[in-house]
Structure 1
Amino acid sequence: MSKTGQARVLTPEQFAHLLSVIQAHRYPEKNTALVQISFKLGLRVQEIALLQIKDVAELDPETSGQRSFKLKEILALPAAYTKGSDALKRSKTTYQRRRISFSIHDFDQLVRQIEAMAKAGAEINPTDFYPEAKKHRGKSRDLPMNDTVLRTALDNYLLIRLAANPSVKKSDLLFMTQKGGPYSPNTLQEHLALMQRQWAGIERASSHSGRRTLITNIIHKQGKSVKIAQKIAGHVSPSTTLIYEEPPEESLSDALKQAGYHFISD
């Protein structure tokens, strides 16, 4: 079943328009690289925010104030970057638990245990009986960076980044804010949405549009299996990837255009 309010899947024309309007704003090289990684590799916002230079390029030693590099062929995305892995050390396990579940056997045992404690006059704290929270582990994945436009965008951005600061470390974050600090996932989420909605005027586009556009196209336009899409997306369960099996908005629009009666006037 589909989710309401899903991020928009961009058409090729909308994507081309987005890349075009980015050139009219500040930091076009960085913003182009951000968009290309989102739409060509399908990374989550948190994953993009955590990318380090060494994840996409090999840096050569600094020579006479200059620094060269070579892009990697494969982005080996560590498990620590992925959703649910608490890579940012901001676990919300304690206060996010709005629902808990038990098997029938465990529930019966729990009721008997509470009854015994109540009869003994013991203090009962509900949280003591919560089942152990499931710890979601990140899922690593290797993503080939063979798209020529993606590679060109990364080349252009890193050339400017290294020219401005040849002494950068390979462990430095790949993308920095205009103030020189790291992007938080929320800040990067807002920035990607700003470029698509306000700069390019694409309604309902969001930071998830790149990821959703890529996975939708892999399944619908390329006709690849859900298993391949799942691997690229880094979904633990194929049921999550199956959401993308629904027809994209573009297909629905074409169907509606031709669904009604057409009258020819004399």
Structure 2
Amino acid sequence: MKQAKLLTQAEQKRLTAIINSHRYSARNHAIFAFSFLAGLRACEIASLRVGDVFDETGKVRNTIYLKAGQTKGSEGNTVLVSKRLTIALCLFAAQYPQHIISPNAALFFSAKRGGFSPQTIVNLFARFYALANIRGASSHSGRRQFLTELADKGISVRVVQALARHKDISTTMNYIDFNENKLRSAIELI
């Protein structure tokens, strides 16, 4: 199975610059943040409602509860919201304050104000990766980057599995990238 590409730091900077230069940059940054900072899949991002992410006062929730119909495995799950993701969501809310007052509305919307489908999210990722001249990246790249970075920082694979919302640890292991530099660094710890 071909893995989604992990982005280099230079590619991440190019992607950020491209997102900044386009209309709806706060919305697009929030979409990418859900992938890179919480490991959400395109279908999960598309399924988010305003009330899932923001409370009745407009404050970002620190935990998002995904219902069974919002997930790939059709089982409810919990997504923890990091400080960096909270910042991206606050910027989104500041840009679209009128949008976040409707708890049942789709969180992410098109220019025509319709909610995004999973395919629309996939297309948005593909469009921005192409504009940033990043080949091999897909809507799953952020999720894979999220899981690999956690593992690289020494987080237990069981914790990474829980954050990935995987039933089987072998699935999580398939996401985590390793290369010769990481292997060499590992043996130097002994």
**Is the TM value for this pair above 0.5?**
yes
Report the equivalent of 2:96: 161
Tell me, yes or no, if structure 1 residue 189 matches structure 2 residue 122. Answer: yes
Report the equivalent of 2:156: 225
Q: How many residues align?
A: 182
Q: TM-score, with normalisation over the residues of structure 1?
A: 0.64
Report the equivalent of 2:136: 204
Report the equivalent of 2:83: 147
Identity, % of aligned positions:
34
Give 3-state SS (helix, strand or coil) of 1:38's partner: helix
Deviations 1:203-258 (A, max 9, x none): 10110000011111111x112222111111111111211212441xxx45x69xxx
Report the equivalent of 2:188: none
Cα contact 1:22–1:199 (8 A) shared by 2: no
Deviations 1:84-137 (A, max 9, x none): 32xxxxxxxxxxxxxxxxxxxxxxxxxxxxxxxxxxxxxxxxxxxxxxxxxxxx
**One-letter identity of the residue aligned with 1:229:** V
**One-letter identity of the residue aligned with 2:160:** A
Deviations 1:48-72 (A, max 9, x none): 0001111111133xxxxxxxx2111
Q: TM-score, with normalisation over the residues of structure 2?
A: 0.87
Report the equivalent of 1:28: 25
Cα contact 1:141–1:231 (8 A) shared by 2: no
Q: Which has the larger radius of gyration?
A: 1
Give me the whole-angstrom Cα distance separating, in 2, the residues matched to 1:142 and 1:185.
18
> Closer, same or farther in 2 for the Cα pair 1:200/1:181, shift >3 Å?
same
By how many angstroms is 1:21 displaced?
1.5
Give me the whole-angstrom Cα distance separating, in 2, the residues matched to 1:139 and 1:243.
23
- Runs of 4+ aligned structure 1 residues displaced above 3 Å come to none
Larger RCO: 1 or 2 (CA < 8 Å, sep 6+): 1
Cα RMSD over matched residues? 1.9
Give 3-state SS (helix, strand or coil) of 1:162's partner: coil
Report the equivalent of 1:177: 110
Deviations 1:151-175 (A, max 9, x none): 2221121122224x57x42121110
**One-letter identity of the residue aligned with 2:93:** L
Give 3-state SS (helix, strand or coil) of 1:76's partner: strand
By how many angstroms is 1:12 displaced?
2.8
By how many angstroms is 1:139 displaced?
4.3
Cα contact 1:78–1:140 (8 A) shared by 2: yes
Report the equivalent of 2:50: 53
Stretches of structure 1 that go unaligned for 5 or more consecutive residues are 61-68, 86-137, 256-266
> Closer, same or farther in 2 for the Cα pair 1:160/1:215, shift >3 Å?
same
> Closer, same or farther in 2 for the Cα pair 1:79/1:156, shift >3 Å?
same
Cα contact 2:144–2:176 (8 A) shared by 1: no
Report the equivalent of 1:113: none
Give me the whole-angstrom Cα distance separating, in 2, the residues matched to 1:58 and 1:23.
27
Give me the whole-angstrom Cα distance separating, in 1, the residues matched to 2:88 and 2:121.
18
Instruction: Decide which structure has greater helix share.
Output: 2
Give me the whole-angstrom Cα distance separating, in 1, the residues matched to 2:12 and 2:83.
15
1:11 counterpart (1, 8, 14): 8
